[in-house]
Chains A and B, each alone.
Chain A
Amino acid sequence: MTSTRLSRDTRASRGASPWRAIAIVLLTISTFVPFVILVVQSSGESWRWPSLMPDALTLVAWRGVAGGAIGRAAFTSTLLALATAITAVCIALPIGRSLAQLRGASRHVAAALVFLPVAAPPIALGAGLQIATLWLGVGGTAAGVWLAHSVPAIGYVALLFLGVFSSRGAEYSEAARSHGATRWQTWRFVLLPSLRGPIVEALAIAFLISWAQVALTLVVGGGAVRALPIEVLSLVRAGQDREAAVGALLLIVPAVAALAALRVGVRRTDALPG
């Protein structure tokens, strides 16, 4: 059997070779070129038609971040995203756990319900949320935007924990209680520790959902809440490509960092769902 496998792999790799090579080239271009363009754009002095490269390099746009609108917007976005992340995990973890008990049709209905705020087109979702935040007295404020961001974040995180608690979680709970642990002891000594990985993952995802939000921030914040994506959007529309590129790169960096933290967290615990 081994020899058959080897020859099959060799045949396959020989046969598929041109496609794989093409694919790798395309993937490399597709993955890195946008990033490179943004870097060049952000540090280019006077990059006009038809030059393929800017006339000179300058860091003026980068230096302007600290005290400028982009810097403030990044700060606002960070706070919003952190607040959303913590809110989403605190609320959605118990919800996900509760949903994991469901079976059959109820389970699917629950999963669909919880997915609704995630999948609902943000402008449409924002319409209802705008009214709600106005009624609650937080319309057009950062608090209102935080509430708005939390809505899809809670949905996503609830789905995540629904998965987590559906896998081995129930069995850990049973083993603990059968050996004498009360409900509280089960939580403290078994469930919470094994949830460390999924919690990190959930925080990262909820952070990203808020961090990248555009429509909700616009509709609920009414333009008064200048999150980073809003700032970048304005810059792009105003044709200020260099500053926009700086903002765009700032948008990418924490997102990538969050993903990296995720991968590390995943490797450390054994308790993540398949």
Chain B
Amino acid sequence: MHSMNSSASASTAALQLDALAVPFDTAVDAHEGASGLRDISLTLARGERVVLLGPSGEGKTSLLRAIAGLAPLSHGRVVVNGRDVTRAAPELRDAVYLHQVPVLFPHLSVSENIGFPLMLRGVARAERTRVVQSLLARLQLDGLADRAPHALSGGQRHRVALARALAARPHVLLLDEPLSALDPGLRRDVREAIRIAHAESDAGILLVTHDLDDATAMGDRLAIMLDRTIAQVAPADVLFARPATRGVMRFLGLHQEFTGHVENQHTVHTPLGDLAVPSDARQATQGALTVTVAIRNDAIRCETGSTTDAGSHALNGPVVHVHHRASGSSATVQLAATTVHALIDPLHAPAVGTSVSIHVDPRGLLIFPD
């Protein structure tokens, strides 16, 4: 039952998923093509944190549970630390699954809960106590060793669950929506606990969430799940700069979309004027008549007054709405062909009705074939 760490090379991934298909309805006989996730492939390195991000729905949880051995797979391979565990029982996978609401054994104290994996493995009492004490300290649970689970606060329960998972010394930690439906204070608490857990162990962490901000804060890489499969896996900055598909782009919500008519290889005509096609997007425009042009929100600026400067693709229109947010202010401008949201300086916000000119930074352009 002890993890086979010693023989694994440094480059062995903590977790590798090969073309998994996960059925949604576990009571029905699974077969490909039915409702469920398909073609899920992912590699999780030791000590890496990957966040599975996607709209709320059953898929992400089912995937985690399938990896843990708690839900069936209809196709594919799960490899933990170089060992194929696709057919293995949950207790033999070295992959610990943590429920969204922490599941602590009600009849055991905090220290007994944490020591549970050690007790299972026959670790001697003295050693068990030592490990439990150290975990209690690391996760700021001092003084709670003999407390009963029902007497713990929400944040404390999350930390006990994480401590217990660490005690099992797994290769993979599977966290199912750990921050969903938590108030901000609790959220910070749990995020911090996960950070500590990450620091304490070299397990790969696979985390599920539907919140983009949580994902970017907690993930080394983000795996966007759309249309029942993984659309893109990349670090956050790459994701924001180069979303791979239109679906990912829309999911991230950081771009504004417009229909573009291809004039030639270098130019595309949009409601915001003729824009230059970025060099790496030339392929997308080949042979196409219309494409989707996506412009990053922060690539659209506006300035008061009009401009007729032909070289900067300027366009003019009145401001119809100004929106101030903590993350930045924007003005909604009515152009001849469309409305557009432009970033503005909150200290010099144009009044509604003012005529402004729109400037597009061509570096923020993405082209998606229709």
> A interface vs B, CB < 8 Å?
103-104, 168, 171-172, 174-182, 185, 189-190, 193-194, 196, 269-271
Bound-complex Cα distance A179 to B150 (A): 21
Taking CB atoms, residues of chain B closer than 8 Å to A182 are: 89, 91
| Interchain CB contact under 8 A, B168 and A180 | yes
Q: Contacts A180-B117, A181-B120, A270-B149 hold; do A174 and B103 have CB atoms under 8 A apart?
A: yes
| Interchain CB contact under 8 A, B90 and A175 | no
Q: Contacts A178-B90, A180-B1 hold; do A193 and B96 have CB atoms under 8 A apart?
A: no
Taking CB atoms, residues of chain A closer than 8 Å to B99 are: 171, 174-175
Interface of A is mostly: helix
User: 3 closest A-B pairs (Cβ-Cβ)?
Assistant: A270-B106, A177-B90, A175-B103
5 A-B pairs with C-beta separation under 8 A = A168-B103, A177-B69, A180-B91, A189-B119, A270-B149
Taking CB atoms, residues of chain B closer than 8 Å to A171 are: 99, 103
Interface membership of B148, Cβ < 8 A:
yes
Closest residue of chain A to B27 (Cβ to Cβ) is: A103
Bound-complex Cα distance A193 to B149 (A): 15
Q: Contacts A172-B103, A174-B97, A271-B107 hold; do A180 and B148 have CB atoms under 8 A apart?
A: no
- What is the CB-to-nearest-CB distance from B98 to chain A, in angstroms, rounded to a whole number? 8
Interface membership of B105, Cβ < 8 A:
yes
> B interface vs A, CB < 8 Å?
1, 27, 68-70, 89-91, 95-97, 99, 103, 105-107, 116-117, 119-121, 148-150, 164-165, 168
Taking CB atoms, residues of chain A closer than 8 Å to B90 are: 174, 177-178
Taking CB atoms, residues of chain A closer than 8 Å to B119 are: 189
Taking CB atoms, residues of chain A closer than 8 Å to B95 are: 178
- What is the CB-to-nearest-CB distance from A138 to chain B, in angstroms, rounded to a whole number? 40
| Interchain CB contact under 8 A, A270 and B150 | yes
Bound-complex Cα distance A54 to B103 (A): 61
Bound-complex Cα distance A246 to B117 (A): 56
Taking CB atoms, residues of chain A closer than 8 Å to B149 are: 270
Bound-complex Cα distance A190 to B68 (A): 19
Closest residue of chain A to B149 (Cβ to Cβ) is: A270
- What is the CB-to-nearest-CB distance from A184 to chain B, in angstroms, rounded to a whole number? 10
User: Which of A175, A177, A180, A185 is within 8 Å of B105, CB to CB?
Assistant: A175
Bound-complex Cα distance A269 to B150 (A): 10
Taking CB atoms, residues of chain A closer than 8 Å to B116 are: 176, 179, 181, 189
Bound-complex Cα distance A176 to B168 (A): 11
Taking CB atoms, residues of chain A closer than 8 Å to B27 are: 103-104
| Interchain CB contact under 8 A, A179 and B148 | no
- What is the CB-to-nearest-CB distance from B178 to chain A, in angstroms, rounded to a whole number? 14
